[in-house]
Amino acid sequence: MKPSQNTIISFYENLGKLFYAIAAADNVVEDVEFNVLKETVKNKWTKIDHIDDDFHSDAAYQIETVFDWLNNEGFSDSKTCYNEFIDFKREHPSLFTEETKSLIIQTATKIAASVADLNKSELMLVAKLSIEFKKTD
């Protein structure tokens, strides 16, 4: 069964939480991390499907919107964001194809590596995510 438009939008919102969790794992979200995310959304995520959100823009931009909102609100609990993403993943395993999981890991790695000195806490969260994706649901 094909997922509903609301489920797809929720998928992208949860990706925003995940990518924010990666960027905020060291308690600092750098502008370069958000810029890398925006570039990746534009060049990769918008190519996946053509579902629009309520504002008639590509639903993939919800990734940026949620990330930016969390950052502007000063939300500092990256663990909560990560866990909410994992809960969503476990509730909707059919959305997580091998191709999608690969793009998620690529995006998370780009965010973690975007700051000049690689941050151990961010890379550890990417590794934890990679292990999660290898589990069978």
> What is the structure's pLDDT at 119?
73
> What is the structure's pLDDT at 37?
96
Bridge partners, 58 (sequence order)? 52
> What is the structure's pLDDT at 135?
81
- Cα dihedral 18, 85, 72, 125 in deg (nearest 10): -40
> What is the structure's pLDDT at 41?
94
> What is the structure's pLDDT at 122?
86
Q: Would you give per-residue pLDDT tens digits along the chain (137 residues)?
A: 678 888 999 999 999 999 999 999 988 899 999 999 999 999 999 888 666 555 556 788 999 999 999 999 988 789 999 999 999 999 999 999 999 999 999 999 999 988 866 677 888 888 899 999 988 65
Tally of domains in the chain:
1
The dihedral built from the CA positions of residue 66, 83, 87 and 128, taken in this order, carries a sign that is: positive
0.85 exceeded by pTM: yes
> Where in the sequence is the domain holding 73, given as residue range(s)?
5-134
Determine the Cα–Cα distance for residues 120 and 112; give it in Å rounded to an integer: 9
> What is the structure's pLDDT at 117?
65
